[in-house]
Structure 1
């Protein structure tokens, strides 16, 4: 079969013309799409940057109507609704995205995560939990677990919170041992409240394993022992707390003194309290020492030194509780210092419009520039 060169000469120009025509049609279509869609989008973006959210929302709605297949516009619109507190409209936008059959798996997970945030902000915690649980194992797994952890803590579902925290720690997200210890402490308190002491023991042991250096398990363990009348064991437990966490020890200093008196270990308890006081002087520890010595706080020899070091109203009140004949100029000066320090923040004027505080009176507020917004009376007189 012989090839006719005439057909080649005719076919090449025809093929070239068809290709050129197709490219021109594609360019026109692209230009038309670019002309129709982005005007409203960029208008909304500009309004958003200028903090005109109402007008920005109208522009984005117009853009979505012109191009309903644009997922990014839906996300932007839904996030705007959520930020404005219009949670019902945000839910509708994100549910509309989820119902689209052409949505990719990645975009589906993203829309589900946005929907879960809508439910959370709206206070629909059961629906938020369901949405977040559906995201487990997805690219939003970590975000979903963190949200679930906060959700379980808010709803006081301590066991679920502990399990979620443990899963996050296993995944390498961070250290959650201290939070898990609090969860198990709450479970221990619940078990005790329902008369299940063995379950409470197990929960406290789990709390200590989750965070060996945590203070709260030792606090609760000592309180449980003291409640059971095992005061010597309570002293041992709380003495460990005093060595590790002297700040937390101040919370149970009075109970510590009571247990020392109850089991007859006054000298040992006094030594622990005195060492804790030297490390962290404070009124709670001094009050516990006075209780252990069975005398009034006002008669405690270290009270004046504490008041001079920490001029607080509590210490000043304890000094004033003594008979006046025990006062001298040193006591009075320490009390004056404490009262002056406490009164100083109240010796100010406060703007009624913005809350700006100043030691001097202003006819025009330096903060919000409002005229006559300062009441002509100081804060303590209002």
Structure 2
């Protein structure tokens, strides 16, 4: 049977028409998808600006479905999950990014840094440590070392913390010498608890020579010397603090007065405290120390009057009243008790970073974990 070529005259135009129609449909679908992605992306951005994190996440997930290869969308999603506290999803997003073979080295380092932050925020310190160590030697080296320093401090691994502080010294984050001194002091206290007081003493004596601006180094040295019965050595350390860190003298004023009384150096201590007060103004702890050094009760109370002349202070007034003889009735006793109760909050120390208050002075704030954030003066004096 002969083939009828007339059918080709009909088939070719028909095939061309069907192909053209299919291409138009695909083109229209591609255009719709390309328009849908920016709309979802910008909708997510709008929600972010309005601080609507849940709606922003939904919009960005929709955008990521249309563009599964868009790394920026995944970084944005991971960051949002972390900010919301959804650390598991943040970790999965950043681990998915790291598993991709098409990431550039810069994007891979960025994903590794984001993953390390996820672990740190989630409190998984061992995983965070490993993730940050993988960033050493990259463009995130300084940030990784700073994070590792914080991790070692939280783990109370003071030897590794000291090594990291030394590595960070002179970098973009400023000086870490005082922070290193805190680490060395913690190591010395640990040695003292282990019964190795001699090693602790040697470490602290070297520390005050290396970092004389560290107030804690002088204070800890004085405490260790005093624990060994070296009262004169402890007093010498307190005078070293007065010379190198004069702003912290109120913290040790009482200990300085007691040491001076024990060693017969009351006059020298009194002269030193008076000179400090003349330079830096009245301080409650210094005023109390001066009162302790007086052998006469009237002379001791006169120091509180001098303090009140220079600076009004409810605490100083209460201390002055405490030295006055009680009256015949209970009125004086009730009045003093009420004043002492009112003074208690004024005797605390307050963190300048987070506002955490405590009756005890802390070198590292229990609230915000910041070092040297407590001013060495009481709340009333701030």
Name the TM-score, length of structure 1 as normaliser: 0.73
Residue 198 of structure 1 and its aligned partner are, at CA, apart by 3.2
For the Cα contact (< 8 Å) 1:286–1:297, is it kept in 2? no
The residue number in structure 2 matching 1:268 is 268
Residue 234 of structure 1 and its aligned partner are, at CA, apart by 2.0
Residue 286 of structure 1 and its aligned partner are, at CA, apart by 2.2
The residue number in structure 2 matching 1:303 is 304
Mapped to 1, the partners of 2:249 and 2:171 lie a distance apart of 34
The residue number in structure 2 matching 1:319 is 320
Instruction: Mark the CA change 1:295 to 1:225 in structure 2 (over 3 Å): closer, same or farther.
Output: farther
Instruction: Mark the CA change 1:51 to 1:90 in structure 2 (over 3 Å): closer, same or farther.
Output: same
Gaps in structure 2 of 5+ consecutive residues:
1-22, 328-335, 347-382
Could you report, residue by residue, the CA deviation over 1:299-323 in whole angstroms, capped at 9, with x for unpaired residues? 4322112123222221111122212
Instruction: Mark the CA change 1:83 to 1:283 in structure 2 (over 3 Å): closer, same or farther.
Output: same
Could you report, residue by residue, the CA deviation over 1:68-127 in whole angstroms, capped at 9, with x for unpaired residues? 111100000011111111111111111111111222221111111101111111111111
Mapped to 2, the partners of 1:30 and 1:107 lie a distance apart of 28
Instruction: Mark the CA change 1:294 to 1:323 in structure 2 (over 3 Å): closer, same or farther.
Output: same
Residue 173 of structure 1 and its aligned partner are, at CA, apart by 4.3
The residue number in structure 2 matching 1:133 is 133
The residue number in structure 2 matching 1:368 is none
Mapped to 1, the partners of 2:55 and 2:172 lie a distance apart of 43
Residue 241 of structure 1 and its aligned partner are, at CA, apart by 1.6
Instruction: Mark the CA change 1:90 to 1:209 in structure 2 (over 3 Å): closer, same or farther.
Output: farther
Question: In structure 2, the residue corresponding to 1:302 is in which secondary structure?
Answer: helix
Could you report, residue by residue, the CA deviation over 1:243-287 in whole angstroms, capped at 9, with x for unpaired residues? 333331211111112211222222222222222233332221222
Could you report, residue by residue, the CA deviation over 1:181-228 in whole angstroms, capped at 9, with x for unpaired residues? 111111111111211123313432453355332221111112222222
The residue number in structure 2 matching 1:111 is 111
The CA RMSD measured in Å over matched residues stands at 3.0
Task: Give the 5 Å matches for 1:167-316.
Answer: 167-171=167-171, 173-208=173-208, 210-279=210-279, 280-294=281-295, 296=297, 299-316=300-317
Instruction: Mark the CA change 1:35 to 1:286 in structure 2 (over 3 Å): closer, same or farther.
Output: closer
Task: Give the 5 Å matches for 1:35-46.
Answer: 35=35, 37-46=37-46
Mapped to 1, the partners of 2:296 and 2:185 lie a distance apart of 35
Mapped to 2, the partners of 1:104 and 1:210 lie a distance apart of 45
Mapped to 1, the partners of 2:185 and 2:298 lie a distance apart of 33
Instruction: Mark the CA change 1:277 to 1:111 in structure 2 (over 3 Å): closer, same or farther.
Output: same
The residue number in structure 1 matching 2:73 is 73
For the Cα contact (< 8 Å) 1:43–1:59, is it kept in 2? yes
Mapped to 1, the partners of 2:228 and 2:297 lie a distance apart of 28
Instruction: Mark the CA change 1:209 to 1:144 in structure 2 (over 3 Å): closer, same or farther.
Output: farther
Name the TM-score, length of structure 2 as normaliser: 0.73
Instruction: Mark the CA change 1:80 to 1:324 in structure 2 (over 3 Å): closer, same or farther.
Output: same
Question: In structure 1, the residue corresponding to 2:51 is in which secondary structure?
Answer: coil
Mapped to 1, the partners of 2:206 and 2:268 lie a distance apart of 30
For the Cα contact (< 8 Å) 2:201–2:225, is it kept in 1? no
Mapped to 1, the partners of 2:98 and 2:170 lie a distance apart of 31
Instruction: Mark the CA change 1:297 to 1:233 in structure 2 (over 3 Å): closer, same or farther.
Output: farther
Count how many residue pairs are aligned between Structure 1 and Structure 2. 308
The residue number in structure 1 matching 2:358 is none
Residue 32 of structure 1 and its aligned partner are, at CA, apart by 7.0
Mapped to 2, the partners of 1:241 and 1:214 lie a distance apart of 8
Mapped to 2, the partners of 1:208 and 1:87 lie a distance apart of 43
